[in-house]
Structure 1
Amino acid sequence: MMIQKKGITLLLSIVIAATTMVGCSNNKKNEPAGGNTGEKDSAPVKVVYLTPGDSAAKPIVAGDRIIAEINKRLGIDLEVKLVPEGGFEKINVAMATGDFPDVVTAQFPSPSLSQWIEEDLLVPLNDYLPDMPTVKEKLENSLSWTAVDGKFYGYPFIEEKSNMGMAFRADWLETLGIEPPKTLEEFHAALKAIVTQDPDKNGKADTQGLSASKSTGFNGSFNFVFYAYGLPHGDWVLDDAGKVAPAFEHPAFKQGLQYLRSLWEEKLIDTEFLINDNQQRENKFFQGRIGFMVTPLFRHVNRLETSLQKVNPAGKLGFSAPPVGPEGKHGLSASNKGGMFTAVTKEAKDPAKAAQFIEFMLSPEGRELLELGIEGIHYTKDGDKITYNEVEREKDGFASNGWSHALAWGNVVWPLTRNFLPQTEAQVDRAKESVEIGTANMVPNLVNATTAEEIELGGVFSGGVLGELTNQYYLEMISGKRDIDSGLAELAKKWRDQGGTKVLEAVSKAYEAQAK
Structure 2
Amino acid sequence: MKSKIFHYLLMALFVFGILVVAGCSDDSDTAGNDTGSDEQTGDDSENNGESSEERMDLRVFVPTFSTEPPTDDSPVLKEIEDYTNKNITMEWVPNSNLEDKFNITLSSGDLPHVMMIPNKSPSFISAVEDGAFWELGPHLADYPNLGQANEIVLENSSINGEIYGIPRERDLGRNGVIIRKDWLENLGLEEPETIDDFYNMLKAFKEEDPNGNGQDDTYGIVVSKYEGPWDVMQTWFGVPNKWGEDENGELYPYFMDDNYMEALNFFKQLYDEGLVNEDFAVMDPAQWSDPVVAGEAGVQVNVLDEGHRIAEKIVDADPENDDPITVIKAVEGPTGLHNLPTSGYSGMLAISRTSVKSDEEMKQVLDFLDKMNDEEMQIMAENGIEGKHYDLVDGEYQSNIKDDAGLKQEVDGFNQMLMYIPEAKSHSAETTALHQLENDLKIENEDIVVANPAESYISEVYSKKGQQLDDIINDARIKYIVGQIDEAGLEEEIERWKRNGGTDYIEEINQLHQAHQ
Give the structure-1-normalised TM-score: 0.78
What is the percent sequence identity of the aligned residues?
Answer: 22
| Aligned equivalent of 1:161 | 172
Encode CA deviations 1:354-409: one digit per residue, 9 max, x unaligned.
3333223233342232233334443455785445444898644479xxxx852224
Secondary structure, counterpart of 1:449 in structure 2? coil
The one-letter code matched in structure 1 to 2:189 is: I
The one-letter code matched in structure 1 to 2:165 is: G
| Aligned equivalent of 1:442 | 449
Aligned-residue offset at 1:440:
4.1
Q: Give the whole-Å Cα distance in 2 for the aligned partners of 1:150 and 1:448.
A: 9
Encode CA deviations 1:100-125: one digit per residue, 9 max, x unaligned.
22211113422112111121222344
Q: Give the whole-Å Cα distance in 2 for the aligned partners of 1:437 and 1:334.
A: 12
The one-letter code matched in structure 1 to 2:231 is: N
Matching of residue 79 in structure 1 with residue 89 in structure 2 = yes
The question of whether the paired residues in 1 share the 8 Å contact of 2:153 and 2:169 is answered with no
Matching of residue 68 in structure 1 with residue 89 in structure 2 = no
| Aligned equivalent of 1:285 | 292
The one-letter code matched in structure 1 to 2:210 is: P
The question of whether the paired residues in 2 share the 8 Å contact of 1:454 and 1:503 is answered with yes
| Aligned equivalent of 2:484 | 481
Q: Which runs of 5+ in 2 are unaligned?
A: 1-51
The one-letter code matched in structure 2 to 1:473 is: A
Matching of residue 59 in structure 1 with residue 59 in structure 2 = no
The question of whether the paired residues in 2 share the 8 Å contact of 1:139 and 1:155 is answered with no
The one-letter code matched in structure 1 to 2:75 is: R
Matching of residue 302 in structure 1 with residue 314 in structure 2 = no
The question of whether the paired residues in 2 share the 8 Å contact of 1:163 and 1:297 is answered with yes
Q: Give the whole-Å Cα distance in 2 for the aligned partners of 1:357 and 1:172.
A: 50
| Aligned equivalent of 1:102 | 113
Residues 247-258 of structure 1: matches in 2 within 5 Å?
Answer: 247-258=254-265
Aligned-residue offset at 1:261:
0.8
Q: Give the whole-Å Cα distance in 2 for the aligned partners of 1:45 and 1:225.
A: 49
Q: Give the whole-Å Cα distance in 2 for the aligned partners of 1:139 and 1:225.
A: 24
Name which of 255, 266, 285 aligns with 1:259: 266
Q: Which deviates further from its counterpart, 149-158 or 184-193?
A: 149-158
Q: Give the whole-Å Cα distance in 2 for the aligned partners of 1:423 and 1:333.
A: 29
The question of whether the paired residues in 2 share the 8 Å contact of 1:58 and 1:397 is answered with no
Encode CA deviations 1:64-101: one digit per residue, 9 max, x unaligned.
21111112223333222222336223211221123422
Residues 266-281 of structure 1: matches in 2 within 5 Å?
Answer: 266-281=273-288
Q: Give the whole-Å Cα distance in 1 for the aligned partners of 2:102 and 2:140.
A: 25
| Aligned equivalent of 1:246 | 253
Residues 285-364 of structure 1: matches in 2 within 5 Å?
Answer: 285-298=292-305, 300-313=306-319, 314=321, 316-325=324-333, 327=334, 329-334=336-341, 336=343, 339-348=346-355, 351-364=362-375
Q: Give the whole-Å Cα distance in 1 for the aligned partners of 2:396 and 2:178.
A: 31
The one-letter code matched in structure 2 to 1:305 is: A
The question of whether the paired residues in 1 share the 8 Å contact of 2:134 and 2:350 is answered with yes
Matching of residue 366 in structure 1 with residue 366 in structure 2 = no
The one-letter code matched in structure 2 to 1:347 is: T
Name which of 225, 231, 234 aligns with 1:226: 234
Q: Give the whole-Å Cα distance in 2 for the aligned partners of 1:222 and 1:139.
A: 26
Q: Which deviates further from its counterpart, 104-113 or 125-134?
A: 125-134
Aligned-residue offset at 1:478:
0.6
The question of whether the paired residues in 1 share the 8 Å contact of 2:160 and 2:457 is answered with no
Matching of residue 210 in structure 1 with residue 221 in structure 2 = yes
Q: Which deviates further from its counterpart, 359-368 or 474-483?
A: 359-368
**C-alpha RMSD of matched pairs (Å):** 3.4
Encode CA deviations 1:402-433: one digit per residue, 9 max, x unaligned.
xx85222476349x952766133444423323
The one-letter code matched in structure 1 to 2:181 is: A
Aligned-residue offset at 1:442:
1.9
Q: Give the whole-Å Cα distance in 1 for the aligned partners of 2:92 and 2:375.
A: 24
Give the structure-2-normalised TM-score: 0.78
Q: Give the whole-Å Cα distance in 2 for the aligned partners of 1:163 and 1:409.
A: 20
The one-letter code matched in structure 2 to 1:513 is: A
Question: Which of structures 1 and 2 has the bigger CA Rg?
Answer: 2
Q: Which deviates further from its counterpart, 259-268 or 335-344?
A: 335-344
Q: Which runs of 5+ in 1 are unaligned?
A: 1-40
Name the one with the larger helix percent.
2
The question of whether the paired residues in 2 share the 8 Å contact of 1:160 and 1:417 is answered with no
The one-letter code matched in structure 2 to 1:472 is: D
Secondary structure, counterpart of 2:460 in structure 1? helix
Q: Which deviates further from its counterpart, 177-186 or 347-356?
A: 347-356
The one-letter code matched in structure 2 to 1:355 is: L
| Aligned equivalent of 2:472 | 469
Secondary structure, counterpart of 1:251 in structure 2? coil
- Residues 144 and 192 (structure 1), Cα distance of their counterparts in 2 relative to 1, 3 Å cut: closer
Aligned-residue offset at 1:332:
3.0
Matching of residue 497 in structure 1 with residue 504 in structure 2 = no
| Aligned equivalent of 1:432 | 439
